[in-house]
Amino acid sequence: MREISFFLEGMMCEGCENRVKNALLAIEGITNVEANHKTGKVTVKMDKEINFSIIKEKVHDLGFLML
């Protein structure tokens, strides 16, 4: 299992965390997402290799900026 972490700018509340989690969990191969609006940190666990640009595009579509 592969794990990556990154930071997002713009998550302001638990609702934002849930939007990020739900959007990323919809990507085939992502098994778990942890998002923290206080720190901006997002950790994604995958059971297969996923092109990072897919993840980046998904959070960008939600209106968040990846740092």
Which residues on neighbouring strands pair with residue 22, listed in sequence order?
none
pLDDT-derived band at 1 (thresholds 50, 70, 90) equals confident
Average pLDDT, the chain: 96
Two tokens, residue 31? 């098994």
Q: Which overall architecture, per CATH, does domain 2-66 show?
A: 2-Layer Sandwich (3.30)
* DSSP strand pairing (2-9 vs 30-35): unpaired
Two tokens, residue 66? 């990846």
What values do phi and psi take at 36, rounded to 5? -130, 110
User: Distance (Å, rounded) from C-alpha 38 to C-alpha 17?
Assistant: 10
Q: Where are the domains of the chain?
A: 2-66
User: Distance (Å, rounded) from C-alpha 61 to C-alpha 27?
Assistant: 14
User: Does the pLDDT of residue 16 top 90, yes or no?
Assistant: yes
User: Does the pLDDT of residue 30 top 90, yes or no?
Assistant: yes
pLDDT-derived band at 28 (thresholds 50, 70, 90) equals very high
Query: Model pTM?
Result: 0.93
